[in-house]
Amino acid sequence: MRRLRFSLGALALATTGLLIAAPAFAHTEKDAGPYKLLFGWRDEPAYTGSQNAVQLFVHDASGKAIDDLGKKGLTVVVSTGSGATAKSSSPLALTSAFDPDSGLGTHGEFDSPLLPTAAGTYTFHITGDINGTAVDVSAASSDTTFADVTDPTAIEFPVQSQTVPQLSSAITTLQGRVASAQSAAASARDSAKSSKTMAIIAIIVAIVLGLIAILTGRGRKTA
């Protein structure tokens, strides 16, 4: 019996140790009146070029999941970058992931699909209304909230593909070269047209001078 108790105790300690060692759920929690909002990326790590979503869980003060947000509901604006490179999305609807007809999905979960195309820090700004309670909360990705978006190069195998920014840069460079080639071709065409025009003018002048010479010669003979 003592051995059994010891084994159960050791198992409990080991389980506790695993729970403590496990990484924290990468979401951040904010309060909005009587409601608690837990939000972050649906899939982490979050990689550029990979389908993801802003994921939100809504519970009341007692911990009960809220599936019905009311008529207005919630939206999220996603932003990244700073200064001249700052970008913000239009308001994206957060829709329920739970299907009451089939019973599939998670109670209290609301998602907004998103495919991040640039690595870096992202901010989620959630606004709207939950059954008459105004909501206006935001958080930026960090070590204590949810993950930054990173390039997937480190996990690509066997061939590492170019990232979205790299492809964009390559396309921009190619477009510049095409524009330069088109400009050079246009200049060459204009130059060719000018040369052709000058040649025609020279021929006309030569003909006119020839006619003048002929007429002048005839006039002298007549005299």
pLDDT category of residue 3 using cuts at 50, 70 and 90: very low
pLDDT category of residue 35 using cuts at 50, 70 and 90: very high
pLDDT at residue number 14: 44
| 190 or 122, higher pLDDT | 122
pLDDT at residue number 198: 81
| 159 or 44, higher pLDDT | 44
Residue type, 211: L
Distance CA 118, CA 131 (A): 35
Give tens-digit pLDDT for 178-187: 777 787 777 7
Find the mean pLDDT for residues 77-99: 96
Give the chain as a 3 state SS string: CHHHHHHHHHHHHHHHHHHHHCCCCCCEEEEECCEEEEEEECCCCEECCCCEEEEEEEECCCCCECCCCCCCEEEEEEEECCHHHCEECCCEECEECCCCCCCCCCCCEEEEEECCCCCECEEEEEEEEECCEEEEEEEECCCCCCCCEECHHHHCCCCCCCCHHHHHHHHHHHHHHHHHHHHHHHHHHHHHHHHHHHHHHHHHHHHHHHHHHHHHHHHHHHC
Return the closest-CA partner of residue 39 out of 29, 25, 24, 31: 29
pLDDT at residue number 30: 98
Asked: is 24-152 a CATH 2.60.120.200 domain? The reply is no
